[in-house]
Amino acid sequence: MLRTLIATHQRFGLRAPFRIARGVKTAADVITVTIRQGAQEGRGEGVPYARYGETIEGALADIAAMAPLIERGGSRMDLSAAMAAGAARNAIDNALWDLESRIAGTSVATLADRPAPGPVASAITIAIDTLEAMETAAARAAAVPLLKVKVDRDNAAAQIAAVRAAAPAPRLIVDPNESWTMAEVVALQDLLVAHRVDLLEQPLPAGADGDLAGFASRVPICADESLHTAADLDALVGRYAYVNIKLDKTGGLTEALALVDAARTKGFGLMVGCMVCSSLGIAPALLIAGGAAFVDLDGPLWLADDRAGGVVDDGGMLSPPAPGFWGTPA
């Protein structure tokens, strides 16, 4: 069973700057892993994230260190035992799933004993900008099922109000990206309720989760940066109502599937999210999106040009990539 593993850095320009509370990006920098075995090859993608101490160079080095294990036939379980969760493992793990499906001549959904992915209502994200620009963006998306608004600490109330005024109908996620204090979470409760916010995503810095213990939020709160793998769940019980599962945090679909089951067992509602990435990063996440209450997989929609055959958005409904793109027979 001779394999070859190739990892490359690819950059996808964005159609507009993507601003959140801690910074702005104008391109998506991803790692693409290709694993070849005989006539078959599988692909996976990861997005190294500076917030978690990851870099493109570091991810490529970590993948190179795993290449001997994978090339001599190492499994996804071997990979999980040898490598920490994160973007580098995500790219390898999902490439292995894709390769397995092609060798078996069946879909990853079948191999994982999960329903085949179908269209899902995925959030359209309104990034931080001037209030006028955010209102304009929200007005363009006013007919979608789900919106997500990125906010900061200084102008959050006005940003939420502007988006809701322009888009009164969609369900609404508010994401401060760790920029609020507990005092602000408390002070903004009335405003969140008044603007019919459905979910408040990671308002506090990861590590400050204890401040939420015993707090009866009037809007459900979701852990994002505070959750990576199933090992993190116990510390979030009684503090968060939902958890946001991202494959770049879990280190691939393998751990994400286990995290879904563990989170449900512990009573958490599910959100499935992503980094700004191409459709190759989204295709595996769609395997777990169908059972989530909130889906936020619009990363490829920010790209000026996505990979050919990728996901398609139609009015906030995201359809899976074309057959043969990832994890399905052509």
Catalytic residue among 25, 148, 246, 249: 246
Angle at 150 between CA 30 and CA 303, to 5 degrees: 35
SS3 of 86, please?
Answer: coil
Return all residues near 152 (Cβ < 8 A) that are at least 6 apart. 21, 128, 159, 176, 179
Q: Copy the structure tokens of residue 87.
A: 């973007």
- Whether 265 and 238 have beta carbons less than 8 Å apart is answered as no
Q: Residue 49 belongs to what H/E stretch?
A: none
CA 172, CA 164: separation in Å to the nearest integer? 8
Query: Can 25 be counted among the known catalytic residues?
Result: no
Q: What is the DSSP string of 235-256?
A: GGTTT-SEEEE-HHHHTSHHHH
What is the CB-side half-sphere exposure of residue 316 using CA atoms within 13 A? 21
Interhelix angle 87-104/253-265, rounded to 10 degrees, is 100
Short-list 62, 22, 25, 67, CA closest to 46: 62
Catalytic residue among 25, 148, 150, 266: 150
Active-site residues: which are they? 150, 246
